[in-house]
Amino acid sequence: MIEDARKYRFQNAEVIYSDLEIVTASREDIGHLEDLSSKNPRKRIRLCAHNTPENALHEMLIIHERTAYVRPHKHPGKSESMHVISGRVDLVIFDDAGEVAQVIEMGDYASGLTFYERIEKPVFHTLIIRSDVLVFHETTNGPFQLGTTEFPDWAPDGSDAAAAERYIRNLDQRINPQTGKQ
């Protein structure tokens, strides 16, 4: 697909909106998004199928590389679902004090793992990416309002990459003390 046919509008290096009336994604498009993700310092990108942050429904194709840090967070007043297209990930759910409440191993449909989840109530969660690249479809209700996502004080904010890496490594050891999955 030629670049003009994508009709992308970049909000920033990590967030793209489509101006097409019917948004589609092919393997070629995912490859293009993976390439864009690899060029970002935080190794992530999302293609928003909704055309503005004000939309009532938000659907996104999201690419995270293994080293992408997803800061633990929760979304008061919102639900969120995730459908893994390719790759493997552990979805880690926490209680408010930062103790691990649940780990959901996820992969694409062919992996035999859980490939879809929906979080209805606001709970802290993060991702430990197990594959080189994770591609997933996420849906949540809008509108997006900066500052409404809650972040705990027991996890790093991501501004220090080494601290974020240590946090994920330590979290991985907590949930997999014998092996520490890789």
> How far is 18 from 181, CA to CA, in rounded Å?
36
pLDDT digits (tens, 9 = 90+) for 137-149: 999 988 887 778 8
107 in any annotated domain: yes
Which residue range is the domain that position 117 belongs to? 3-175
Which pTM value belongs to this model? 0.90
* Total number of domains in the chain: 1
Segments of the chain assigned E as strands: 8-10, 15-18, 44-48, 57-65, 80-86, 88-94, 100-107, 116-119, 124-129, 133-141
pLDDT digits (tens, 9 = 90+) for 35-78: 999 999 999 999 999 988 888 899 999 999 999 999 999 999 89
- C-alpha gyration radius of the chain: 16
Of 11 and 81, the structure prediction assigns the larger pLDDT to 81
pLDDT for 5: 59
Reported as a single tens digit per residue, the pLDDT across 91-128 is 999 999 999 999 999 999 999 999 999 999 999 999 99
Q: Does residue 54 sit within a domain?
A: yes
Confidence of residue 1 (pLDDT cuts 50, 70, 90): very low
13 occurs within a structural domain: yes
Nearest partner of 83 among 110, 108, 54, 113, judged by Cα: 108
81 in any annotated domain: yes
| pLDDT at residue 180, as a whole number | 47
Structure confidence by residue, pLDDT tens digits, 3-29: 455 678 898 999 999 888 889 999 999
Q: Identify whether the C-beta of residue 115 lies closer than 8 Å to the C-beta of residue 41.
A: no
User: Which band of pLDDT confidence, cut at 50, 70 and 90, is reported for residue 182?
Assistant: very low
CATH assignment of the domain containing 57 = 2.60.120.10
- Give the contacts of 128 (CB within 8 A, at least 6 positions apart): 89, 90, 92, 168, 171, 172, 175, 181
